[in-house]
Structure 1
Amino acid sequence: MTSPLQHRIEISDPQLIAGAPEGVREVFVDLVPASHPHVLVRLQYVVRDGRKVEGPYGIRVQQAPDAPVGEWKPVGATLVRDLPFVKLERVARMVLTFGQRTPEGAPLNLSAGVFEAPPPVEKIPERAEKMVRSHHPDVDPDSGPGAQRRWNRLTRLAEVQLEYNAAAAAGEKAPATVVAEKRGVSPATVNTWLHHAKKEGLDAQLAPDFSVVAVVPE
């Protein structure tokens, strides 16, 4: 019988930060990348009031704790360049966000973010409309010119967010540039749209790719 596998991820206990306000704690998330099993990546986050995850404010790359000294390898620019930091950070943030609990054991952050896989390109307009209806059920495009303009703006913001997510999931190093070229605008304009999408609650986060994290027998 095959043993179940678990990802090599560890979350430190929240720690007080000298000089920080009450309710602000420091948390570290350790991951061992599947592509570099001799390496440990440590990401530093801040958790505010036991709920809001901020950061990462620091990243450290070092030898994995269980790597024998004789198998240590230098942590140089080439290794750091090849590490999938974006995907690793996405995994760390999701595990940290959804792993927090109240003293009674209930999840704290089930509403902290929506993690989903990006739809195929041809399905983006349809998904964007569903996002707008879900987050802004009061906006009826048939109720007048003003409502139609707001509907058009919201669906455009949702589409841009989904296009950005799709480019990021495809491994594009500058997803905002990809979206900008498609829409004939500057990357700065795309970043502004993404900012507005977040303010409107339309910033669905990508589902993390757990395959980038090493696994060990349970």
Structure 2
Amino acid sequence: MRINGSIALVTGANRGLGRLFARQLLERGDAKVYATARDPERIDVPGVERLRLDITDPGQVAAVAVAAPDVTLLVNNAGISTWTNLVTGDLANIRRELDTHFYGTLAMVRAFAPALGRNGGGALLNVLSAMSWFSYEGANAYSVAKAAEWALTNGVRLELAAQGTLVTGLHLGAADTDMMAGYDGEKADPAAVVRAGLDGLEAGRVEVLADAWSAHVKASLAADPREFYTSV
């Protein structure tokens, strides 16, 4: 994927990783960046084209696909964390997580896959998480939703291969963003995470592990799960 000269759309571009994706894409020579958010007035990246988008709203997804027919790179970054457990947590929050990370991301893929195909194939980057591969007490709904989004990413990669679309999953641990403001552990530099994702796209990689924690979690999957959970 050649970023210089491409036309990108970034979801959740009003803060955190999405804001940095919009900035770094422009810095790398992106011809146009559509920056989207529920409240586009909060997007403060100079040089982008702002669009209103809630990825859980089918009407807004369809409208944005019509407004941005020239996209060659779709960055599915929008996400939420409700810090909800599965057994006793609010079921509405669990549904919100799945509606956002799985169904919302799928809606974006389905809406933009035809445009990517028409525009030469292009690329699709899904911002995932190391929590696609492990559970964390107090945030198990997020883990389930990200695991589903990881499976979605692997599935649509196969389905879009014939039209030449590169589908890349970006995994990271905790990053120093607004979403993780209440987390006291070690946090990665979000700018470095975004650079890793864009570097991976340009290298044609289908999976990017943005930090040492993500690499450690991925490597643990081949072992007995008890070894991982008793070591953290």
Larger radius of gyration: 1
Normalized per residue, the structure richer in strand is: 1
More helix by share: 2
Same fold (TM over 0.5): no
Q: Which has the higher contact order (CA 8 A, sep 6+)?
A: 1
What TM-score does the superposition give when structure 2 sets the normalisation length? 0.27
TM-score normalised per structure 1: 0.28
